[in-house]
């Protein structure tokens, strides 16, 4: 290529743009000064303050509960949908399913949140359930939109996968469920763990949908962050944000390394 | 390009004809193998007893929790706002003499069309989303091109670095920009220190901050589909262009860019569609006078507690987004393009 310097400049500019704000956020969480932008020396004061903030801690606990339950349910649902789309050919309703799975990926959050809330209100009027809105309604809403992401990931992995492995197992007399559990599932483990992690972070991160479908009792972490951010920048939020970043990043790196090792093992055993 | 395409098709034909046996007996054996294959396939299909359940569960789930809610949005958009719990009127009403009344209130839609506030907010949202998509393309394209041209061992790392921010909290990333753009924020302090300006610029709560926020948050959505199309691009096409005397810039516009158009369209739609209804970024970074339709929906719902008007806005927004969404779906579903960035790299 004739112009590597141009692409190199754009790449470094792009990565600086992506990571600059995040790094500054983490750096200022260790700032002694209350003013977020004046450096007053290194301190872990805001982390200690964070650990004594009852409101943030209870909201974080609720969010973590919702996020992990959501990730498990979304993986199951996404596995079903992804498997149907990738393996069952042109069944009746395929276009319907594929459209419904694709739409939540681009649908604006406000529309998703409002429509879910109106569904829950109508359900309550008709069946008397759910009586109060809170953890359950947030969970149902989150499963729906994060399962769409899981489906996309699982489907693409299944499409790329070598079908002859499954066919060979079936030729040798394995029942479909056995084929799925012993052949398909181990091969798509990377996609499933990526989907779980993504569903977890999507739920942990969602403000808009949760605000719509939540009730008086259900205040999640993003809601607390949002209301305190509206009042102004606070170093406690910086500390909280850094902790979330640490949690998510280490989760991604650990799964990435594990999957990398597994792939290497598979390759060597194939040889 | 055309030449290359045909030559590969020709290769495939040659390979197939090489496999086809010429003798009658050979043909019969081939037919037998095919027949047995077909029986095996049928056997697989028959043995998939769990199949209806596997398909039915997601179809039911998405019908109830994704499709059905839109019918309620449509219904409530024709209701009247009431001071009640829930705050809207019923459409169907049994009167005492056994008459079923259907009351449709089109006032919400009439108000949206008459009040210029909503209309200008809608236009402004489209404008902001379109400009943001363009800016994201402008920054994302060179990045995707750069990643696709480095050594393959580096590609994965660089790509991972683009995806990583997407996995971390969206709200936190928007929050980070508040700290940078404030009057006494990092950017203003830096500019003051260099001496370019002598008093802080009001960067936060402006259109500038709004665009930065959207571009920053949606950049991975642009880079991934672009990368997926660019990495598949046959480098020999560029070499051929160069051999024929094409300058690099003109080779880019005549070869690389046209071939990457599916990625450009997919990426732009992935930025444009959610940006139209965006709430958090305009609320936290945008100015008070930049009205976006997502923010208006939020205000109508939470501050004015007018659920019917909020639903009517949602209906209007859906009508507006249905065409780009179907376009996106079509690109996603193209069989030759199943590796459409988002699918493969997420």
Any alpha helices (H) in A88-134, and if so which ranges?
94-106, 109-127
B36 touches chain A (CB under 8 A): no
> In whole angstroms, what is the distance from residue B190 CA to residue B178 CA?
15
B151 min Cα distance to partner chain A (Å): 12
pLDDT, mean of residues B268-272: 92
Q: Which of B268, B298, B307 is nearest to B280 (CA)?
A: B298
> In whole angstroms, what is the distance from residue B97 CA to residue B100 CA?
9
Contact B184 A35 (CB under 8 A): yes
- The reported pLDDT for the residue numbered A62 is 94
- The reported pLDDT for the residue numbered B126 is 93
Contact B167 A248 (CB under 8 A): yes
- The reported pLDDT for the residue numbered A36 is 60
Contact B284 A229 (CB under 8 A): yes
Main-chain phi, psi angles of B100, to 5 degrees: -90, 115
ipTM > 0.90 (yes/no): no
CB-neighbour burial class of residue B180 (10 A; exposed 0-12, middle 13-18, buried 19+): buried
pLDDT, mean of residues A73-93: 87
Chain B residues with CB-CB distance to A237 below 8 A = 175
Q: Report CA-CA distances (Å) from B288 to B112, B153, B172, B285.
A: 20, 47, 21, 9
- The reported pLDDT for the residue numbered B33 is 62
Tokens of A146: 């994060």
pLDDT, mean of residues B338-346: 44
Which CATH number, 1.10.10.10, 1.10.3720.10, 3.20.20.70, 1.20.1260.10, labels domain A53-270?
1.10.3720.10
- The reported pLDDT for the residue numbered B10 is 41
CB-neighbour burial class of residue A174 (10 A; exposed 0-12, middle 13-18, buried 19+): middle
Main-chain phi, psi angles of B104, to 5 degrees: -105, 125
Which of A2, A11, A192 has the most B C-beta neighbours within 10 Å, making it the best mutation to test the interface with B? Answer: A11
- The reported pLDDT for the residue numbered B346 is 45
Domains of chain B, by residue range, sit at 111-346
Q: How confident is the prediction for chain A on average, in pLDDT? A: 86
Least confident of A55-69, A202-216, B78-92, B301-315: B78-92
Task: Count contacts between A and B (CB, < 8 Å).
Answer: 269
Contact B277 A2 (CB under 8 A): no
Confidence of residue B204 (pLDDT cuts 50, 70, 90): confident
Instruction: Please check whether residue B282 is in contact with residue B292, taking contact to mean a CB–CB distance below 8 angstroms.
Output: yes
- The reported pLDDT for the residue numbered B17 is 43
Query: Nearest residue on chain A to B283, judged by CA atoms?
Result: A230
Instruction: Please check whether residue A89 is in contact with residue A97, taking contact to mean a CB–CB distance below 8 angstroms.
Output: no
Task: Check residue B94 and report its DSSP letter.
Answer: E
Confidence of residue A75 (pLDDT cuts 50, 70, 90): very high
A33 min Cα distance to partner chain B (Å): 14
Q: Which of A141, A167, A245 sits opposite B168 (nearest CB)?
A: A245
> In whole angstroms, what is the distance from residue B332 CA to residue A78 CA?
17
Measured in whole angstroms, the distance separating CA A242 from the mean position of its chain's CA atoms is: 17
Contact A3 B248 (CB under 8 A): yes
Instruction: Please check whether residue B91 is in contact with residue B102, taking contact to mean a CB–CB distance below 8 angstroms.
Output: yes
B294 touches chain A (CB under 8 A): yes
- The reported pLDDT for the residue numbered B113 is 84
> In whole angstroms, what is the distance from residue B166 CA to residue B219 CA?
9
Q: Which of B176, B248, B307 sits opposite A22 (nearest CB)?
A: B176
Q: Which of B283, B307, B304 is nearest to B293 (CA)?
A: B283
Contact A107 B145 (CB under 8 A): no
pLDDT at B166 over 50: yes
- The reported pLDDT for the residue numbered B109 is 87
- The reported pLDDT for the residue numbered A181 is 86
Chain B residues with CB-CB distance to A205 below 8 A = 169-171
Least confident of A128-142, B46-60, B154-168, B169-183: B46-60
Chain A residues with CB-CB distance to B76 below 8 A = 118
> In whole angstroms, what is the distance from residue B221 CA to residue B162 CA?
9
Query: Nearest residue on chain B to A84, judged by CA atoms?
Result: B55
Give pLDDT tens digits for B43-99.
545 545 556 778 888 989 999 999 999 999 998 888 888 777 777 877 777 777 777
pLDDT, mean of residues B297-311: 90
Give pLDDT tens digits for A109-145.
999 999 999 999 989 888 887 878 889 999 999 999 9
Contact B168 A6 (CB under 8 A): no
The torsion angle over the Cα atoms of residues B70, B72, B78 and B80, rounded to 10 degrees, is -140
Question: A116 or B184: which carries more pLDDT confidence?
Answer: A116
B328 min Cα distance to partner chain A (Å): 9
Q: How confident is the prediction for chain B on average, in pLDDT? A: 80
- The reported pLDDT for the residue numbered A256 is 80
> In whole angstroms, what is the distance from residue B39 CA to residue B43 CA?
6
Question: In terms of residues, how long is chain B?
Answer: 346
- The reported pLDDT for the residue numbered A92 is 75
Give pLDDT tens digits for A210-243.
999 998 878 999 999 998 888 877 788 889 989 9
Give pLDDT tens digits for B30-51.
666 665 555 555 554 554 555 6
- The reported pLDDT for the residue numbered B49 is 53
Of the CA atoms within 13 Å of residue B161, those in its CB half-sphere come to: 18
Least confident of A156-165, A177-186, A215-224, B16-25: B16-25
Main-chain phi, psi angles of B81, to 5 degrees: -75, 135
Give pLDDT tens digits for B92-146.
777 777 777 777 888 888 888 888 888 889 999 999 999 999 999 999 999 999 8
Residues facing residue B94 across a β-bridge: B100
Q: Which of B48, B160, B177 sits opposite A21 (nearest CB)?
A: B177
- The reported pLDDT for the residue numbered A207 is 93
Q: Which of A17, A83, A106 sits opposite B325 (nearest CB)?
A: A106
Percent of chain A with pLDDT over 90: 28
Contact A100 B346 (CB under 8 A): no
A269 min Cα distance to partner chain B (Å): 22
Q: Helices (H) and strands (E) in chain A — how many of each?
A: 13, 0
Which CATH number, 1.10.3720.10, 3.40.50.1820, 1.20.58.340, 3.40.50.720, labels domain B111-346?
1.10.3720.10
Give pLDDT tens digits for A157-175.
888 888 888 888 888 888 8
Measured in whole angstroms, the distance separating CA B61 from the mean position of its chain's CA atoms is: 22
Contact B70 A151 (CB under 8 A): no
Question: A77 or B159: which carries more pLDDT confidence?
Answer: A77
Task: Check residue B204 and report its DSSP letter.
Answer: S
A7 min Cα distance to partner chain B (Å): 5
pLDDT, mean of residues A31-38: 72
> In whole angstroms, what is the distance from residue A1 CA to residue A8 CA?
12
């Amino acid at each position: 290529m004739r112009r590597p310097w141009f692409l190199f400049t754009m790449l470094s500019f792009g990565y600086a743009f992506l990571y600059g704000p995040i790094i500054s956020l983490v750096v200022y969480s260790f700032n002694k000064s209350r003013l977020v932008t004046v450096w007053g020396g290194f301190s872990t004061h805001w982390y200690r303050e964070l650990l004594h903030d009852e409101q943030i801690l209870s909201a974080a606990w609720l969010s973590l509960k919702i996020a992990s339950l959501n990730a498990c349910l979304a993986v199951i649902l996404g596995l079903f949908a992804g498997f149907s789309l990738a393996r069952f050919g042109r069944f009746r309703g395929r276009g319907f399913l594929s459209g419904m799975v694709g739409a939540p990926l681009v649908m604006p959050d406000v529309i998703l949140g409002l429509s879910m809330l109106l569904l829950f209100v109508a359900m309550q009027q008709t069946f008397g359930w759910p009586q109060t809105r809170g953890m359950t309604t947030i969970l149902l809403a989150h499963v729906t939109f994060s399962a769409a992401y899981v489906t996309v990931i699982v489907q693409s992995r299944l499409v790329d996968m070598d079908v002859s492995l499954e066919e060979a197992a079936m030729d040798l007399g394995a029942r479909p469920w056995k084929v799925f559990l012993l052949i398909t599932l181990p091969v798509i483990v990377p996609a499933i763990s990526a989907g779980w992690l993504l569903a977890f972070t999507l739920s942990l991160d969602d403000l808009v949908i949760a605000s719509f479908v939540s009730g008086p009792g259900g205040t999640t972490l993003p809601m607390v962050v949002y209301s305190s951010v509206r009042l102004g920048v606070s170093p406690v939020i910086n500390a909280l944000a850094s902790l979330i970043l640490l949690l998510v990043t280490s989760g991604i790196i650990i799964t990435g390394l594990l999957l990398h090792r597994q792939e290497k093992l598979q390759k060597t055993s194939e040889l | 390009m055309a030449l290359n395409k045909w030559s590969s098709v020709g290769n495939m034909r040659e390979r197939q004809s090489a496999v086809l046996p010429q003798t009658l007996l050979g043909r019969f054996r081939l037919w037998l193998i095919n027949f047995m294959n077909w029986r095996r396939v049928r056997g697989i299909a028959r043995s998939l007893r769990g199949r209806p359940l596997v398909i039915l569960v997601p179809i039911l789930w998405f019908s109830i929790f994704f499709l059905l809610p839109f019918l309620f949005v449509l219904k409530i958009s024709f209701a009247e706002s009431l001071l009640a719990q829930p705050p809207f009127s019923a459409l169907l009403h049994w009167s005492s003499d056994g008459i079923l009344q259907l009351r449709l209130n089109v006032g919400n839609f009439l108000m949206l069309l008459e009040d210029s506030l909503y209309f200008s907010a809608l236009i402004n949202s489209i404008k902001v989303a379109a400009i943001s998509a363009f800016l994201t393309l402008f920054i994302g394209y060179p990045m995707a091109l750069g990643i696709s041209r480095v050594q393959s061992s580096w590609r994965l790392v660089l790509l991972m670095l683009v995806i990583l921010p997407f996995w971390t909290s969206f709200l936190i990333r928007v929050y980070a920009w508040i700290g940078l753009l404030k009057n006494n924020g990092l950017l203003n302090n830096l500019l003051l220190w260099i001496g370019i300006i002598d008093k802080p610029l009001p960067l936060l709560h402006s259109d500038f901050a709004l665009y930065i926020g959207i571009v920053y948050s949606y950049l991975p959505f642009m880079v991934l589909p672009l990368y997926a199309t660019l990495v598949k691009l046959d480098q020999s096409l560029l070499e051929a262009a160069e051999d024929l005397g094409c300058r690099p810039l003109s080779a880019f516009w005549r070869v690389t860019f046209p071939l990457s158009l599916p990625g450009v369209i997919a990426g732009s739609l992935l930025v444009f569609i959610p940006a139209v209804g965006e709430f958090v970024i305009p609320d936290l970074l945008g100015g008070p006078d930049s009205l976006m339709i997502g923010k208006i929906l939020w205000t109508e719902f939470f501050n004015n507690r007018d659920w019917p008007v909020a639903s009517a806005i949602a209906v209007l927004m859906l009508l507006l987004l249905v065409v780009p969404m179907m376009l996106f779906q079509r690109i996603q579903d193209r069989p030759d393009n199943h590796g459409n960035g988002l699918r493969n790299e997420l």
